[in-house]
Structure 1
């Protein structure tokens, strides 16, 4: 597994080959051994194989081609509904309609997701993690008919790889590790952190294509702008209230 992590890439093109239900269920079951808050397993997974259903999900993910081309799409949800229903049926009084409960369930769901990804890679499968899930949660809720106290937090497209993309760059280890306490970065340290990333030909081309001066400007002015971040935040807060987590 460590070897797989050292060479992992995001797969966006898949072979026209099914992922068997036996293999998928085996991986999902193994992933359930992931650590979880209070041993409650505060997540659910919606498996999408039907082409029409993938087409309905695609707009929520900006119609990225792999959403419909992958043989399997997995939507991993923060889920406190199952626990709440269980509590009510056992004469208990649940109090999980709040933001803390969403955070606990979302953490459970994302830990499960990462474990599943590692296991899938060991079987030779490829996947793409779609961060768009929390950009357009309402569309996903509607398509998947998610009830209160269930909210999508991650989506994976899954299948047998039909490409060999290059590995993405990463910051040096010292850039993310702080001994004992957090030590803020000096301008020189920031320069050192990002120097290798900024010198990559692909990133220099990225800057030129977007007609920007620096790579940072591509992220702040084009990809993840303040206006878009605030608008998506408002939508996410609205959905959290609607699903009963606020």
Structure 2
């Protein structure tokens, strides 16, 4: 998978042709082989192939065209519901309706999602992770009929690419890797780590488009604003309560 990892890119334009059933089955089996807490597999993958259901989901993802153009949309969910039911049917009292087990289930789910994406790319398909899932999780729960103990975390669009965008940049490895202990950054190191990204033509275009003096302000003022972050957080925490992750 080293090649797929190195060449990963988000694909936002897709051909409408369906994914071969055997290929999709292989991708899903690969997702199910991901590492998991206690071998409990605390996740569910809701695979939406029906165009009518994808059309229902589209507003949850700001009507991005890829949700209806791509043949497959996978909603990745943290799921303690299934394991809890198994316990109850065997006279074992489950205790997974709390925030610790949301975190365990979220870890399981996101590991499965990465396996899913890598396997899809290994088959020559394109993928795109949709962060909009967190913004509209309540509506997604309603559309997909998610029971208590299940909550969406991310969505992966999968299909045959209709574009080949360039690789997006990444910070130098020194920015994200710490040996032995966390080493905090000096102001000079922060400047150095972001220097190449800030000097790129892509950043220049973004600055002109947004009318702002630097890239950081694009993130804080336009992309991920404080008021939006707080509103989304409050809504998601409330949904966690409703879905039974804050009962204890």
TM over 0.5: yes
Measured on the aligned residues, the alpha-carbon RMSD in Å equals 0.8
Map 1:26-45 onto structure 2 (within 5 A). 26-45=26-45
Is 1:47 matched with 2:34? no
Map 1:37-76 onto structure 2 (within 5 A). 37-76=37-76
When normalised by structure 1's length, the TM-score is 0.98
CA distance in 2, matches of 1:157, 1:18: 13
Map 1:96-135 onto structure 2 (within 5 A). 96-135=96-135
Is 1:191 matched with 2:191? yes
CA distance in 1, matches of 2:11, 2:226: 29
- SS of the residue corresponding to residue 106 of structure 1 reads helix
CA distance in 1, matches of 2:31, 2:48: 18
- SS of the residue corresponding to residue 64 of structure 1 reads coil
Deviation at 1:198, TM superposition (A): 0.5
Equivalence for 2:244: 244
CA distance in 1, matches of 2:13, 2:72: 12
Equivalence for 2:207: 207
Equivalence for 1:8: 8
Deviation at 1:91, TM superposition (A): 0.4
Equivalence for 1:174: 174
- SS of the residue corresponding to residue 95 of structure 1 reads coil
Deviation at 1:73, TM superposition (A): 0.4
CA distance in 2, matches of 1:195, 1:117: 30
Map 1:213-228 onto structure 2 (within 5 A). 213-228=213-228
CA distance in 1, matches of 2:51, 2:35: 33
Unaligned runs of 5+ in 2: none
Equivalence for 1:78: 78
When normalised by structure 2's length, the TM-score is 0.97
Deviation at 1:22, TM superposition (A): 2.2
Instruction: Render the CA deviation track for 1:15-37: whole Å, top value 9, x for unaligned.
Output: 12110222111211122111100
- Runs (4+) of structure 1 exceeding 2 A deviation are none
